[in-house]
Amino acid sequence: MMYMARLNKKVSEPSILVKPVSRFGGLDNIHVALIVLVAILVLLVVAISFTTSISIVNVTNATAQNCTYAMVNGTCVHPIHTISEAKLAAERILAGYSTSSSSASLLPYLSDVAAANVSYIAQTGQWYASIPYTSTSGNETYLLGILMQDSNLSKFTTFVQMVGINSSLSDNYVASKGTIKLYGQPSCGIGTTQAYWFIDPYAPGSIPSLVNATNLQSKFSSRLNVTVKIQYTQYSQKIANTYGLNNTLSLGRYILCGSVQENFTGFVKSLNASYYQGEYMSPQVLSGIASRSGFNMTALNSCMASSQSVMRVQAEQAAKYNVTSPSAVVVNCQYLAIPQSASQAVCYANSSLC
């Protein structure tokens, strides 16, 4: 009887034994290598810090050091231009927006140059002007930033909140809120202050602006003379393409000749109530409004018969004052405004009126 031997072997899972490095306090080889690597990196950072030179420009407050603008590394800086010159340059840049074909053209009339902050940046040799302006609704205030090179103030960059368009340089400048000073234009002279009310009747907002004109005339009475002047721009041209030039000019003729009649205010109210933006108004409709307003129709028709030559002269005046907007007001022959800011321009041109 044979007996088979029984195999009784215990199989255990393999294990990795890490032999400690006794002379390093029980650390293994991997940890020692990591410590050495960290030490090398620390030494490298220290070496770089000692070999790198850092240039420090010490700009000190100007007032504290009796410098007009600032002190850089112990020396007073002397820019080429003064604060007044930089502010005037910023006002000219602001006035340049008036010729823009976008909503940015309103910026000069919405800005408050009296609240402008102008400072010199000594490190870069630049002037920075910050001018606040209000939204068209008047509910929000934004900032126009102008960065100008001291070496040449005509080299500039503008930063306008809510408006993404650059200005063009202008010889005009913004003299006060809502008022642009026209370069080289003298005043109309002594006597009654003049306000030339340029409109293309078919342009947006022109007819409603006549309410502003009559209100302004009523407010200042004989101390102000508001004169309506008719322009022919792309808005009237669009109407003329359909209804003919003579029919299109009828609206301007009735406004021009009606403005010298006694009840012009009543005519404006009726016209404003009957007019729909961009819609053609026939001579028959205009004649009915004029008749109901109590106009002297004989004098009115006589005026309109000779109005063509008057409107031609008015177009030349618009060019003289560089009126590019279909609704603009020239006050005292030297200040440009829009209908909404005409009152501000009048008060600036003749403070005794306000």
Q: What is the pLDDT of residue 29?
A: 58
Average pLDDT, the chain: 82
Q: Pick out the chain residues at pLDDT < 70.
A: 1-66, 70-73, 161-168
- 77-111 confidence digits (pLDDT tens): 888 999 999 999 999 999 988 888 777 888 899 89
Please name the helix (run of DSSP H) or strand (run of DSSP E) that holds residue 61, with its range, or none.
strand 59-61
- 150-198 confidence digits (pLDDT tens): 999 999 988 876 654 555 677 899 999 999 999 999 998 888 999 999 9
Q: What is the pLDDT of residue 99?
A: 82
Q: What is the pLDDT of residue 296?
A: 95
Cα distances from 26 to residues 34, 36, 39, 206, in angstroms, run 15, 16, 19, 93
**Cα–Cα distance measured from residue 184 to residue 334, given in angstroms and rounded to the nearest whole number:** 8
pTM confidence score: 0.67
CA angle 331, 333, 336 (to 5 degrees): 50
CA dihedral 146→149→153→159, nearest 10 degrees, is -20
Residue 275: what are its φ and ψ, rounded to 5°? Answer: -90, 135
Sequence-ordered list of residues with C-beta below 8 angstroms from that of 71, at least 6 positions apart, any chain: 58, 59, 60, 61, 62, 65, 77
CA dihedral sign, ordered 180, 186, 192, 194: negative
**Cα–Cα distance measured from residue 61 to residue 167, given in angstroms and rounded to the nearest whole number:** 32
Q: Tell me if 237 sits within 8 A of 284, measured CB to CB.
A: no
Q: Where do the H-state alpha helices sit in 138-243?
A: 206-220, 234-243
Comparing CA positions, the residue from 226, 291, 235, 292 lying closest to residue 256 is 226
Q: What is the pLDDT of residue 5?
A: 43
Please give the structure tokens belonging to residue 188: 């109309």
Residue 158: what are its φ and ψ, rounded to 5°? Answer: -115, 145
